[in-house]
Amino acid sequence: MIRNTPFHPRTSEANQTGLWSHWAGYLSAEKYRMSDKFEYWAIRNAAGVIDTSPLFKYRIRGRDAEKYLSGLLTRDIRKCRPGQAQYTVWCNDDGWVLEDGVILRLSDDEFLLTTARANMAYFSDQAEGLSVEIEDQSARIGALAVQGPYAREVLSQIAPEMTDIGFFHVTPAKIGDASVVISRTGYTGDLGYEVWVDADDAVDVWDRLFEVAAPYGVIPAGQIALLVTRVEAGLILIDVDFKSARYAWNDDQRATPLELGMGWMIRDLETDDRNFIGRRAIEREIAEGTSRWRTVGVMADWQDWNRVYMERGLVPPKDHTPSHGESMLYDEEDRQVGWTPSFLYSPIMQRHIGIARVEPECARPGTDLQLEVTIDHKYEMVAAEVTRLPFYNPPHKTA
């Protein structure tokens, strides 16, 4: 049976469209009111409030918690001090990515790791012999992402503790009577925070937030708006941009951190003495240069995009709705060199953009590619260019 998040009493009131998707077994609003694009612009111009409670949350604590995570996670958790957070991945022994997630370090020996998929068995298996306790608190903790330029101004009115926290920092706070954790994290590439709250306090937190936030034009935002912003922010999505190696059938479905654009996480391997899972394979991959892919941005040439549609007598579409298909990418010799599974029209870039996987030799920004599109049941090629990620990276994100 489909479940409701702790905010459901409020999200169900707010959602006037009746459009819900199923996210990890929970009802999740696709959009709340008349226009998902309006919700998108709220995120970019005011703030949007997104119920991200369906994420899995694992509380990891104990004397060996840091040691445990040092071996489990690809990125060095020791560099994440109490009060900080990290975006991280974890791999299998062959150096294939199992998943990505954000980990909050609440104290020396207590962490909260959020994941998109269930990981209890896997995490527990890796904990054998260590003094560490792993608890699945997914249903216990509600998560509310407050994302957009006004996020700080509105949140600080109900939780002053968070006013000065830096990008990827965490603080405990009180909202009304509720003890919450607020992290400066998110999936939109904007100034943004996530409020982690006990399920019993969720509705109260929602009410207090909107009491101050509504006059600022802050509104609930649904999945559609969120998924537009995440592509603009160049943030990958499991089962769209990559698949967990845990459930893959062959290596075509697997990817390494380097192939997914996570090379920066393991830049310091020379001075990093951890023996984390997948390290040897990753070192081999680096040494032998065997990465098959790079993750890059692609941006369609606007004139060529217009041309292919105008030539067919059509209005060139500019649809921001995320379409999670596969649009193939070709080089100048018509050789398929990659694909983009996350392609859409960015309202703020005013361009068609996608997160793409391309062969390393085609990954240099500025490389000319051809993007395959389907128009009236026929394939057409549109000129596209490789770009850096993220597409959208406003100064206020980290300021």
Q: Which residues bind another protein (CB under 8 A)?
A: 17, 33-35, 37-38, 40-41, 44-46, 150, 215-217, 302-303, 313, 315-320, 345, 347-351
> Which residue lies nearer to another protein by CB, 214 or 325?
214
Q: Which candidate, 309, 397, 398, 383, places its Cα nearest to that of 348? A: 397
Closest to another protein by CB, 168 or 302 = 302
Q: Judged by CB, which is closer to another protein: 23, or 216?
A: 216
Q: Which is nearer to another protein, 330 or 391 (CB)?
A: 391
| Closest CB 113 distance from another protein, rounded Å | 35
Taking the complex as a whole, how short is the minimal distance between the CB of residue 46 and another protein, in angstroms?
5
- Which candidate, 254, 227, 250, places its Cα nearest to that of 242? 254
User: What CA–CA distance (Å, rounded) separates 235 from 174?
Assistant: 30
In the numeric block, which tokens belong to residue 276? Answer: 């984390």
CB of 122 to another protein, least distance (A): 42
Nearer to another protein, 208 or 292 (CB): 208
Question: Between β-strands 336-346 and 327-330, what pairing exists: parallel, antiparallel or unpaired?
Answer: antiparallel
Is there a contact between 114 and 97 (Cβ–Cβ < 8 Å)?
no
DSSP line for 222-274: -HHHHHHHHHHTT---BTTTB--GGG-SSGGG---TTTTT-GGGGTTGGG---
Q: How far is the CB of 383 from another protein (least distance, A)?
A: 13
**In angstroms, what is the minimal distance from the CB of 136 to another protein?**
39
Instruction: State the minimum distance, in angstroms, from the CB of residue 317 to another protein.
Output: 5
DSSP string, 113-150: EEESS--HHHHHHHTTTSS-EEEE-TTTEEEEEEESTT
Shorter beta-carbon distance to another protein: residue 172 or 347: 347
